[in-house]
Structure 1
Amino acid sequence: MLHSGLIAFLAFLGFRFVKTELPGWVYWLGLLLKLSAGIVLGLIFYEYYESGDTIAFFEAAKNLTEVENQPRTQFFLKILRPVVVFTDGSYWITSLYFSFISFISFWYGLKVLSNLYPDIRWLITICFLIIPSIVFWSSGIIKDSMASAALIVFVVSMIQTYKLKRLLIPDLILILIGGFILLYVKHYLFITAIIFSAVLFSLSLYRQLQPKWRFASILVIFIALVGTQFVHPYLAINRIPWTLQQNNQAILEKSDSEDRLNIVLEEDSWTEVISNVPKALHAGLFRPSLFDQTPVWGWIHRVENFLLIILMMMSIILFFKKKHKIDWALFVGSLCGILLLAIMLPLSTPNFGTLVRYKNSYMPYLFLICSVLPYHYFTSQAHK
């Protein structure tokens, strides 16, 4: 009862102070879906798989087990342990707290973007709060839940800074917090967030500068790329092929044949990596497809990816047919981040189960980008 009351109180505070123009029921429906997803995730791993990261993390936090040579897991456990102690060792209540934190982050992102783009408010709501795999893999006691929450507050704060052309103190605080969490939980997402921001502000600066000074905008990207070389030694430019090849082989060895992607890095060279980019990009954007074999709940991912293909094709057709005005700085920056992850993740994790979980980091933004033009088209047709 104590924790139920506390979560309800926190939910009310979120509803009261993180307001949007959306009806109140959207907030409570989104919260219910997120909390339920965290519970369902636990049930699947406990009852069906009988093992998995979420169980291992909880047990390590509960039993104060030390994890060697896994700094990202150690950092996650430092955050998880106080919550486990507070909930008296309850997996399910701990899951509710983590799901709630994730929901508030997504709701804040929804608030910021819907204020900046009020005409697609409902579309943003669907992409952030309703699409099943996005809700599911950003809930419960998994690092992806925390990473997705950190990424969204970082990204929307950067977008708000870009749109307002000034950095607000709350946005600066959220950028620092989100960046810090990403750096220690999912450093490749931290690098992606930095590259997205660099491209966004570089292109914005390019438009504002006089022609003779535009070369200076390139320095923004150059400095960002140099900075990423110090994030993690395995993600330095000269080490990336080796890192991808080692992860690729390790995942393939642990995967059943039906779970493997047809992406195999035989050598740790850029030539080998580049030759597999087309297959990786296809997997990162559209797999598992309707033709792939997955467990029964894999149909959710398969249908979502099929819908994504349709939306992408419609967007391309509508762009050339209607000549819509595009915010190119934001579009190119977003595309760079999405494509980077859509290529690198399948190369390093050629396993359907792992891939669909990791893809969740960019799926809300990919769905949003692919849905904007079809959404505008159908809503305009409805008003004719």
Structure 2
Amino acid sequence: MELRDFIVTPIVILIVYIVAYILRSRITDEITRPYFFPALTAKILGALALGFIYQFYYGGGDTYNFHSYGSRHIWEAFMDNPATGFKLLFSDGSSEVGIYKYSSLIPFFHDRSSFMLIRIAAIFDLFTFSSYSATAVCFAVISFIGLWMLFVAFYEVRPDLHKLIAIATLFIPSVVFWGSGLLKDTITLAGLGIATLLIKRIFLDRRINIFSVLLLLLCFYIIFSIKKYILLTYLPAIMIWVYATNLSKIRSMAFKVMMLPFVAAITVVSGYFAISQVGKDDSRYALDQLGNTAMVTAYDIAYLTGHDAGSTYSLGELDGSFGSLVKLSPQAINVSLFRPYIWEARNPLMLMSAMESLVLLSLTVYVVFKRGSTFFAALTNPHIIFCIVFSLTFAFAVGVSTFNFGTLSRYKIPLLPFYTLALILIYHENKDRNVEELESTE
């Protein structure tokens, strides 16, 4: 922490709340309004708490490195020469001509994903005088916008479940903590939330305008630039969501049955094409290299770069083939959703993660057994299908490629809102059906 943090951060927070107060009446209604400021406050506190934990518990880490050895140097370039600053800000990392004085100080300059985050942070630094905590608050605001839009997307689907949907999207503790600060996960999480609402508006509600389309493409570009593997799981899921929603609007059951194979084929082909395009310019994410990429990433995080982030875990041997990943999929999904178990906790942060995992496991068991008789019937709901497909495939992806509980607790946050939403919708879908059946027999 520096003196500038104590001066600039309170001013930035005050401005954020003034702007939020002005906009609140325009973007909320009587039902959603009570969640607005608590959710915003939670994100800001989460960003500040994350900074304190990294500084005083970890003694440094990614969030400070991205700022101190990244965006701070771009800010300094702007202060020395705005032309040089702009050249550095928009550099693609391939050339250092005219910017070497500053780019040589940024260890992430040639790392496309990290440098994308650094450039976003640098834009905020221009307004926060490169104050870490003030810039972190700006990241928290971006995360809040994304998660608020995710909340709105599902609130529009089931307005009667607004309280539960708010908890799932705005107030899950690990999402508030790990998804608020100056980290890659904050931006990608926000991108997912914004993209989900826009996809609903454009493809499901047919409310199409050029701004929404451009913003959706921007979200995809940012996610693609920072964490490609998120798109590998998200794109097929949203395609299934769109196809399943349109199929559900057909009244004729016979026609639905006839169309199902065609829709399934289109979904698989579209998903394959989307994944192929995502991995087109990065051989690590090509379909035939996913197994090897997961293996290298898992062992790197477990034993090298992520060694101090928390305790390691093992699901079994990875040999670099896609088949070895598939064999470990049940264990991978389980570790992402329900581990670490309480007895596996090795430090306070792991204990918090373990308690959250225990709650999620308990909710899962409760929903499955409480509504077991109509559980599978609920899976025909397109919104549930979307949440389940994305959360489980993402759980598999991060679980099989992390091998470290500390890192996993941060990487898995995008799946938590969607999985929790799936449980909520499944429970109340079945509950509503039972009520309808009871009323029909009376």
Q: What's the TM-score, normalizing by structure 2?
A: 0.79
**Counterpart residue identity of residue 349, structure 1:** T
In structure 2, what is the Cα distance between the partners aligned to 1:213 and 1:107?
35
Q: Find out whether 1:229 has 2:276 as its counterpart.
A: yes
- For the 8 Å contact 2:294–2:401, the answer to whether it is kept is yes
In terms of mean alpha carbon deviation, does 137-146 or 312-321 score higher?
312-321
Equivalent residue number for residue 412 of structure 2: 359
Using the TM superposition, give the Cα deviation of residue 8 of structure 1 relative to its aligned residue in structure 2, in angstroms: 2.2
Q: Find out whether 1:346 has 2:393 as its counterpart.
A: no
In terms of mean alpha carbon deviation, does 46-55 or 219-228 score higher?
219-228
Over 3 Å counting, the alpha-carbon distance change for 1:162 and 1:311 in structure 2 is: farther
- For the 8 Å contact 1:198–1:224, the answer to whether it is kept is yes
Using the TM superposition, give the Cα deviation of residue 145 of structure 1 relative to its aligned residue in structure 2, in angstroms: 0.6
Equivalent residue number for residue 109 of structure 1: 150
- For the 8 Å contact 2:345–2:351, the answer to whether it is kept is no
Equivalent residue number for residue 293 of structure 2: 243
In terms of mean alpha carbon deviation, does 261-270 or 42-51 score higher?
261-270
Task: Say which of 348, 355, 361 aligns to 1:309.
Answer: 361
Over 3 Å counting, the alpha-carbon distance change for 1:213 and 1:282 in structure 2 is: closer
In terms of mean alpha carbon deviation, does 254-263 or 299-308 score higher?
254-263
Aligned ranges 1:1-384 → 2 under 5 Å: 2-22=11-31, 24-59=33-68, 60-64=70-74, 65-66=105-106, 67-161=108-202, 163-164=204-205, 167=208, 169=210, 171-207=212-248, 208=250, 215-217=261-263, 218-232=265-279, 233-254=283-304, 255=307, 259-321=311-373, 325=378, 327-374=380-427
Using the TM superposition, give the Cα deviation of residue 19 of structure 1 relative to its aligned residue in structure 2, in angstroms: 0.9
Using the TM superposition, give the Cα deviation of residue 302 of structure 1 relative to its aligned residue in structure 2, in angstroms: 1.3
In structure 2, what is the Cα distance between the partners aligned to 1:68 and 1:51?
19
1:50 counterpart SS class = coil
- For the 8 Å contact 1:286–1:306, the answer to whether it is kept is yes
Using the TM superposition, give the Cα deviation of residue 243 of structure 1 relative to its aligned residue in structure 2, in angstroms: 0.5
**Counterpart residue identity of residue 9, structure 1:** I
- For the 8 Å contact 2:309–2:406, the answer to whether it is kept is no
Over 3 Å counting, the alpha-carbon distance change for 1:121 and 1:174 in structure 2 is: farther
Equivalent residue number for residue 98 of structure 2: none
Using the TM superposition, give the Cα deviation of residue 179 of structure 1 relative to its aligned residue in structure 2, in angstroms: 1.3
- For the 8 Å contact 2:333–2:396, the answer to whether it is kept is yes
- For the 8 Å contact 2:297–2:401, the answer to whether it is kept is yes
Deviations along 1:271-295, one digit per CA (max 9) or x if unpaired, are 3223322221210110112221231
- For the 8 Å contact 1:311–1:370, the answer to whether it is kept is yes
- For the 8 Å contact 2:233–2:393, the answer to whether it is kept is yes
Using the TM superposition, give the Cα deviation of residue 246 of structure 1 relative to its aligned residue in structure 2, in angstroms: 0.9
Deviations along 1:5-26, one digit per CA (max 9) or x if unpaired, are 4222322234132213336442
Deviations along 1:138-181, one digit per CA (max 9) or x if unpaired, are 10111111110000111232234454255455543442222121
The number of aligned residues is 381
In structure 2, what is the Cα distance between the partners aligned to 1:373 and 1:325?
6
**Counterpart residue identity of residue 291, structure 2:** P
Q: What's the TM-score, normalizing by structure 1?
A: 0.90
Deviations along 1:105-125, one digit per CA (max 9) or x if unpaired, are 212222232122111111111
In structure 2, what is the Cα distance between the partners aligned to 1:139 and 1:262?
29
Unaligned runs of 5+ residues in structure 2 are 1-9, 75-104, 436-442
**Counterpart residue identity of residue 145, structure 2:** I
In structure 1, what is the Cα distance between the partners aligned to 2:200 and 2:32?
24
Over 3 Å counting, the alpha-carbon distance change for 1:94 and 1:237 in structure 2 is: same
In structure 2, what is the Cα distance between the partners aligned to 1:229 and 1:26?
40
Using the TM superposition, give the Cα deviation of residue 298 of structure 1 relative to its aligned residue in structure 2, in angstroms: 2.3
**Counterpart residue identity of residue 219, structure 1:** I
In structure 2, what is the Cα distance between the partners aligned to 1:190 and 1:162?
18
Over 3 Å counting, the alpha-carbon distance change for 1:378 and 1:304 in structure 2 is: farther
Over 3 Å counting, the alpha-carbon distance change for 1:190 and 1:23 in structure 2 is: closer
- For the 8 Å contact 2:310–2:406, the answer to whether it is kept is no
Over 3 Å counting, the alpha-carbon distance change for 1:378 and 1:238 in structure 2 is: closer
In terms of mean alpha carbon deviation, does 275-284 or 257-266 score higher?
257-266
Structure with higher Rg: it is 2
- For the 8 Å contact 1:312–1:371, the answer to whether it is kept is no
- For the 8 Å contact 2:371–2:430, the answer to whether it is kept is no
**Counterpart residue identity of residue 187, structure 1:** K
Over 3 Å counting, the alpha-carbon distance change for 1:290 and 1:375 in structure 2 is: farther
In structure 2, what is the Cα distance between the partners aligned to 1:220 and 1:346?
25
Percent sequence identity is 21
In terms of mean alpha carbon deviation, does 300-309 or 205-214 score higher?
205-214
Over 3 Å counting, the alpha-carbon distance change for 1:21 and 1:173 in structure 2 is: farther
Equivalent residue number for residue 88 of structure 2: none
In structure 2, what is the Cα distance between the partners aligned to 1:80 and 1:278?
37
In terms of mean alpha carbon deviation, does 63-72 or 183-192 score higher?
63-72
**Counterpart residue identity of residue 395, structure 2:** A
